[in-house]
């Protein structure tokens, strides 16, 4: 495709996306396994005062993919090359899929991200250093980040539970999706890789809220 044609296709595509969003469709992103680390754990793994290297911004403002990678060590198995997301957080949190949890041999609960009470312990290694965490592993509950403007337009509020139908060649209805509304958010739905594979998620897949 010529550069000019590619640009035209891109403009048309952006317009279609904007139109879909105006109709209440929500773009869906799959979150792969990742960790959020506290200052203390970053110090222990990478060295005192170490700063994470931002290599790519994520859809939510301020969040980024770092260049740093860790290995998760569970009672049954390990997962290496796990991405560290920034910025650092008050509490370390390890987000995996149920499939990952089985590989590691941990009983990770399905919970809202940020709520680490009752989550599983894990050992993390990086850089030849190891840290034992007594909690932090969870399977993030499927959720939608929504801007205030979109929530108002769709008559939704923070904490609502909605059903979302995914339009793909393997259609799925995700029930009771946790809606989180904030002026800090851009509107996107987040699911994990097990859920993404269940609906054969590809780049730029949209879902429609069918029940409030």
Shortest gap between Cβ of 145 and Zn ion (angstroms)? Answer: 6
Tell me the closest approach of the beta carbon of residue 11 to Zn ion, in angstroms.
Answer: 28
Q: CB within 8 A of 210, min separation 6: which ones?
A: 163, 164, 165, 173
Residues near 120 by Cβ (< 8 Å), separated by ≥ 6? Answer: 101, 106, 107, 108, 109, 135, 136, 137, 138
- Which one of residues 74, 190, 191, 207 is an interface residue with Zn ion (CB under 5 A)? 190
Instruction: Give 4 or 203: the residue with its C-beta nearer to Zn ion.
Output: 203
When CB distances to Zn ion are compared, the closest residue is: 190
* Pairwise CA distance, residues 84 & 146, whole Å: 24
> Minimum CB separation from Zn ion for residue 138, in Å?
13
Smallest distance, Zn ion to C-beta of residue 102, A: 23
Q: Which positions from 14 to 43 touch Zn ion by CB under 5 A, shown as an x/- string?
A: ------------------------------
Judged by CB under 5 A, the number of residues near Zn ion is: 1
Answer whether 132's CB lies under 8 Å from 73's CB.
no
CB nearer to Zn ion: pick between 58 and 208:
58
Site map for Zn ion, 147-186, x if CB under 5 A? Answer: ----------------------------------------
Q: What one-character-per-residue DSSP string does 38-68 give? A: EHHHHHHHH-TT----EEEE-SSTT-EEEEE
In order of 29, 130, 196, the CA distances from 94 in angstroms are 18, 15, 19
Q: Which residue has the tokens 């509490």?
A: 91
- Token pair of 133, please? 């965490």
| Contacts of Zn ion in 76-115 (CB under 5 A) | none
Name the site residues for Zn ion (rule: CB under 5 A). 190
């Amino acid at each position: 495709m010529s550069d000019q044609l590619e640009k035209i296709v891109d403009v048309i595509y952006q317009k279609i996306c904007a139109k879909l969003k105006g109709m209440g469709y929500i773009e869906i992103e799959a979150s792969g396994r990742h960790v959020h680390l506290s200052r203390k754990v970053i110090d222990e793994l990478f060295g005192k005062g170490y700063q994470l290297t931002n290599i790519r911004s994520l859809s939510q403002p301020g969040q980024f993919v770092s260049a740093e990678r860790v290995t998760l060590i569970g009672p049954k198995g390990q997962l290496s090359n796990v991405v560290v997301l920034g910025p650092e957080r008050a509490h370390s949190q390890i987000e995996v899929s149920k499939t990952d949890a089985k590989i590691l041999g941990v009983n990770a609960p399905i919970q809202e991200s940020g709520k680490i009470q009752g989550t599983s312990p894990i050992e993390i290694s990086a850089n030849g250093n190891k840290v034992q965490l007594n909690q932090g592993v969870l399977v993030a509950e499927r959720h939608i980040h929504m801007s205030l403007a979109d929530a108002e337009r769709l008559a939704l509020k923070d904490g609502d539970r909605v059903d979302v139908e995914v339009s793909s060649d393997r259609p799925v209805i995700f029930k009771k999706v946790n809606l989180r509304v904030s002026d800090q958010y851009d509107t996107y739905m987040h699911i994990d890789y097990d859920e993404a594979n269940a609906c054969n998620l590809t780049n730029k897949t949209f879902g429609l809220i069918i029940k409030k």
